[in-house]
Structure 1
Amino acid sequence: MSDTLYLLLDQNIQIEHPHVYLQDIARLSCSNSKILNRLRVMPVVNLPPDKPGRYVFSVMDLITQIQQKEPDLEISSIGEPNFIITFKNKPGPGFLLEWVKILFVGLSTFFGAGFSIMTFNNDVDVGSLFSNIYTQVTGQPSGHFTILEITYSIGIGVGVLFFFNHFGHMKITSDPTPMQVQMRLYEDDVNTTIIEDIDRMKNS
């Protein structure tokens, strides 16, 4: 009875050196420890050291390489059929630049959300609505700074905190925040688009 290798790959794997080995891009499991140790250090590809970027590979090509080294081995792939190797050979931006980018995104998000709320309130004329409600209920003219405006303002802030499930380093629940979900969906869409574009270029 031949041994079986279980191969698990993510859709996008980030590496920082051009010489890529199997253990760098895949999680491996095999009952035969000798085969497992040999395959962990199996060279997969040598990327151009001066060309960082994204490289698309097929699991079928990877299986072919493994079979050439271990012809009697059964291989079961339980991950992605195609995967991307993201090669970064340069250090990321400095600490100061990183904080500038975070500050810029934070301010853009804050003022953008505030502008959206203000334009919505103006479109539906919330001020006049609260004024009419206050006058009808109390019989007195509204001074535009009543319990309605106060509770509405507090409610928006509390609602945003609950919706984004995040305040500083604190989280209300252990669930991912809507921003994290959207970023994950965006990342998946980018990876899928890159893989499909490469497949179309190969088939054209």
Structure 2
Amino acid sequence: MAVTKDTVYIKGEQNVEVTKSEVTLGDILSIECANLEMIPKIKALKLLKVQNNGKHRYVVSVLKIIECIHRQYPNVDIENLGKEDIIITCEDQKTPNKFIHWTKVAVVTAITFVGAAFSIMAFNNDVETTKLFGQIYTLLMGKQSSGFTVLELMYCVGLIVGILIFFNHFGGKKFSVDPTPMEVEMRLYENDIQTTLIENYSRKEKELDVGKTTSAGTHRA
């Protein structure tokens, strides 16, 4: 009679942050198995150890993870449902200084506000919006514009409403369940960074793969 093998399903995200010096499989993977007793044992398996303080970054191949599991459980079948390469960032957890944090927020807000205001004013000046509104007002009303009419008012209101609709949120409130354009761009930017990191580590042969040992000094980022 054939012996039924246990199947272990693993799933890892592309980028994982940990704060412990000893990284286990449970820190970076979601694990499922019909044999419930095996799950906590696999999660406790050590993958790498960071010997120095500070920030370290590793790129780990899923084959290295499978090798780690097979060393303890050589007869299990493993199916990977996640990424083929996982970026692990090890960094000491620090409580940010609130004063510095809010100072950064204020500076970024001020720069963004001034930059956006300057861009809008430069655009309006470039296309001569005031002159255009004056001509439209004279054409429709038959008299000269006073400089501030319903056209300018509705233009200001429409500009604000258009920006809010485009960015899909006001403060912490979103107008729909769709991601905002900023969130989409940030996600694309993160994906590009992760792809570049994986390719660079692979080319420099720094990726933790089958048969390679962990060395914190050579993987520091």
Q: Same fold (TM over 0.5)?
A: yes
Whole-Å Cα distance in 2 between the matches of residues 104 and 29 of structure 1?
A: 46
CA deviation after TM superposition for structure 1 residue 153, in Å: 0.5
Q: Which residue of 1 aligns with 2:185?
A: 182
> What is the alpha-carbon distance in structure 1 between the residues aligned to residue 21 and residue 43 of structure 2?
16
Cα distance in 2 between the residues matched to 1:39 and 1:26: 10
Q: Structure 1 residue 17: deviation in Å?
A: 1.1
Residue by residue over 1:167-198, the C-alpha shift from the partner in whole angstroms, topping out at 9 and shown as x without a partner, is 12222222222222222222221111111111
Cα distance between partner residues in 1 of 2:56 and 2:168 = 34
| Residue among 20, 23, 27 paired with 1:24 | 27
| Structure 1 unmatched runs, 5+ | none
Deviation at 1:128, TM superposition (A): 1.1
Q: Deviations over 1:154-175 (max 9, x none)?
A: 1111111111122122222222
Which of residues 45, 55, 58 is equivalent to 1:55? 58
1:173 is paired with a residue whose SS is coil
Match of 1:33 among 26, 36, 58: 36
Equivalent in the alignment of 1:85: 88
Offset of residue 90 of structure 1: 4.0
| Alignment deviations for residues 32-55 of structure 1 (CA, whole Å, 9 cap, x no partner) | 112212101000100133241321
Q: TM-score, normalised by structure 1?
A: 0.93
Match of 1:200 in 2: 203
Which stretch has the larger CA shift, 50-59 or 25-34? 50-59
Question: Which runs of no fewer than 5 residues in structure 2 stay unpaired?
Answer: 207-221
Would you say the 8 A contact 1:7–1:77 is kept in 2? yes
Which residue in the other structure is 2:158 paired with? 155
Name the SS of the counterpart of 1:71 in structure 2.
coil
1:106 counterpart (84, 91, 109)? 109
Residue in structure 1 matching 2:15, options 6, 12, 20 = 12
What residue is the counterpart of 2:99 in the other structure? 96
Question: How many Å apart are 1:65 and its aligned residue?
Answer: 1.1
Q: Distance between the aligned counterparts of 2:56 and 2:109, measured in 1?
A: 27
Q: 2:138 aligns with which of 135, 138, 151?
A: 135
Q: Which residue matches 2:129?
A: 126
Percent identical: 40
**CA deviation vs aligned residue, 1:97-124 (integer Å, no higher than 9, x gap):** 1111222222222222222111111221
Which deviates more from structure 2 when the two are superposed, residues 5-14 or residues 186-195? Answer: 186-195
User: Is the deviation greater in 16-25 or in 162-171?
Assistant: 162-171
**Partner of residue 46, structure 1:** 49
Which structure would you say has the larger RCO, counting Cα contacts within 8 Å and 6 or more residues apart?
A: 2
Q: Report if the CA contact (8 A) 1:10-1:83 is conserved.
A: yes
Q: Supply the distance in 2 between the matched residues of 1:195 and 1:108 (Cα, whole angstroms).
A: 34
Give 2:119's aligned residue.
116
Match of 1:171 among 138, 157, 174: 174
Q: Aligned to 1:33, what secondary structure does the other structure show?
A: coil
Q: Deviations over 1:9-29 (max 9, x none)?
A: 011101111100110000000
CA distance in 2, matches of 1:124, 1:48: 61
Indicate the RMSD between aligned Cα atoms, in angstroms.
Answer: 1.5
CA distance, structure 2, for counterparts of residue 148 and residue 132 of structure 1? 11
Q: Which amino acid aligns with 2:60?
A: F
Deviation at 1:133? Answer: 0.9
